[in-house]
Amino acid sequence: MKRSRQILGFFAHGLPLVATLLVVGIIVAIIANFLIGGLPALSWEFLTESPRNVNTEGGIFPAIYGTVLLVIIMTIAAVPIGTITAIYLAEYAKKTSKLAQFVRFAVNTLAGVPSIVFGLFGLGFFIQTIGGGIDNWNHQAKMAELQQLVAAAPSPIANNSFAPVREIKAYLTQEDELKWRKEIQRLNQYEGGESAYANSQLVVTYLSSHTDPNWGKGNILWAALTLSLLTLPVVIVAVEEALKAVPQEVRSASLALGATRLETVWKIVLPNSLTGILTGSILAVGRGAGEVAPILFTGAAFSLAKLPGLQDQFMHLGFHLYILSTQAVNIDQARPLQFATTIVLLGLTLALNAVAIVIRSRIRRKNKSN
């Protein structure tokens, strides 16, 4: 009896230790694995140059640039909304408030929605609905203008009689070549060529039925906004925690002096939770920088000729790694680059997380002492 109890005790103590060692061991193994494989390929050149030779040589600068730009836009969108929501939850909401309960539930749900679903949402909402809507709006406006322009044109165009497409093109070119550039180009593809005869209404109808997606396709703005939804709960939780670290007595003192709730928040609470807002932002950036699923079809690109602006697709470290490791032309040749890319991505996210964890544990300690 006593012996069996000893054996049981041995396992009862041993299993938790073994499990802990295994988990920590795996983490160390992952890091070591990438450091050993990737450090030799990591160089200044790697960080600052563009990929060459179908991503088997050169560096990953555009991917770093894209990732950084992406998370900057994401932060600009997520941090204000997240901070304001946290202020509401921590400073305004009463415990019994239904709205607050709904908001909390929504935040928790948002945190649990799979990242790929955010990608679908980005595609359906930002790209198709918003982006497509903008494109459509612009197109309609432009076509209305075209209609007017055509009506003001000299005969035979204005009279809606048939004329060679060439003449209509010449007219548009003469009016504003830069503005009608796309339309002029498209008329090149008009059935029958530019000698074909068409009346102006046919031309307008033809041009109206063709649009180039401008905002209605993946770009860094839509990807960043999609990502900001995903990181919103991260910001809210971190900032709320920081706000709660400000002692209640200090709020009372301010209110007793006749400060309003808003003055109290603005002048007393917020200045004392700046580190918390910072932590929230850092955590969000760390999380956002590593997420690939939401950007798979909202704007990430494998290879680009130039660095992106808001309306362009972009390269991204995580996406780059995904493509390099699964779809590269010559996977083995790209291996050192894959490892080095991993180091950069992992280094970026881990450094951000480590900083946030350190600040956070300080806030938690402060919270406990209150």
Partner 1 sequence: MSEQKQEKSEVKPGEFSTASLSLTTKERRFGERAIELGIYTVSSLSIIFIFLIFAFVLREASPIIGYTLSGEQTEKSAELTPEELTRAKEIVGEDYPILTHNSEITVSALIHDKWEPNSTYPRYGIWPIVLGTLKSTFVALFFAIPLSIFAALYTAFFAPLRLREFIKPVIELLAGFPSVVIGFFCLITIATFAQDLFGYEFRLNSVVGGFGLSLAVIPIIYTLSEDALRSVPGSLNEAALALGATKWQAAYQVMLPAATPGIFAAILLGLGRAFGETMIALMAMGNAPIPSWDVFDPARTFASTIGAEMGEVVFGSSHYQVLFFLGVVLFVFSFSINFLTEFYIKNKLIKKFRGNE
Partner 2 sequence: MLSEKETVKIDISDLSLFYGKKQALNNISMRIPEKRVTAFIGPSGCGKSTLLRSINRMNDLIDGVSISGKVVLDNVNIYDNGINIVNLRKRIGMVFQKSNPFPKSIYDNVAYGPRINGVKNKAELDEIVENSLQGGALWDEVKDRLDSSALSLSGGQQQRLCIARAIAVNPEILLMDEPCSALDPISTDKIEDLIIQLKEKYSIIIVTHNMQQAGRVSDYTAFFYIGELIEYDKTRKIFTDPNVKQTEDYITGRFG
Among 256, 306, 327, 368, binds partner 2 (CB under 8 A): 256
Angle at CA 136, nearest 5°, toward 70 and 131?
A: 15
CA 346, distance to chain mean position in Å, is: 18
Cα(319)–Cα(121) distance, rounded to whole angstroms?
19
Task: Measure the CA–CA gap between 317 and 343, rounded to whole angstroms.
Answer: 10
Give which of partner 2, partner 1, none residue 253 binds (C-beta under 5 to 8 Å, depending on kind): partner 2
302-331 footprint of partner 1 as x/- string (CB under 8 A) = ----------------xx-xx--xx-----
What is the DSSP secondary structure assignment for residue 196, as one 8-state letter? S
Q: Can you read off the two tokens belonging to residue 220?
A: 């860094």
The reply to whether 253 sits near partner 1 by the rule CB under 8 A is no
Piece of 165-173, 225-233, 249-257, 317-325 that binds partner 2 (CB under 8 A): 249-257
Among 138, 354, 364, 370, binds partner 1 (CB under 8 A): 354
Q: Which listed residue (53, 129, 174, 185) binds partner 1 by CB under 8 A?
A: 129
Comparing CB distances to partner 2, the nearer of 120 and 259 is 259
Inter-residue contact 301 to 271 (CB < 8 Å): no
Type of residue at 166: R
Q: Is the dihedral of CA 241, 246, 249, 252 positive or negative?
A: negative
Three-class DSSP category at 344: helix
Answer yes or no whether residue 42 interacts with partner 1 by CB under 8 A. Answer: no
266, β-bridge pairs: none
Residue holding tokens 């003001």? Answer: 152
Query: Is residue 88 within the footprint of partner 1 (CB under 8 A)?
Result: yes
Residue 249 interacting entry, from partner 2, partner 1, none, C-beta within 5 to 8 Å by type:
partner 2
74 is a site residue for partner 1 (CB under 8 A)? no
Provide, rounded to whole angstroms, the least separation between the CB of residue 289 and partner 1: 7
Contact set for partner 1, span 222-251 (CB under 8 A): 229, 232-233, 236
Q: Which is nearer to partner 2, 64 or 277 (CB)?
A: 277
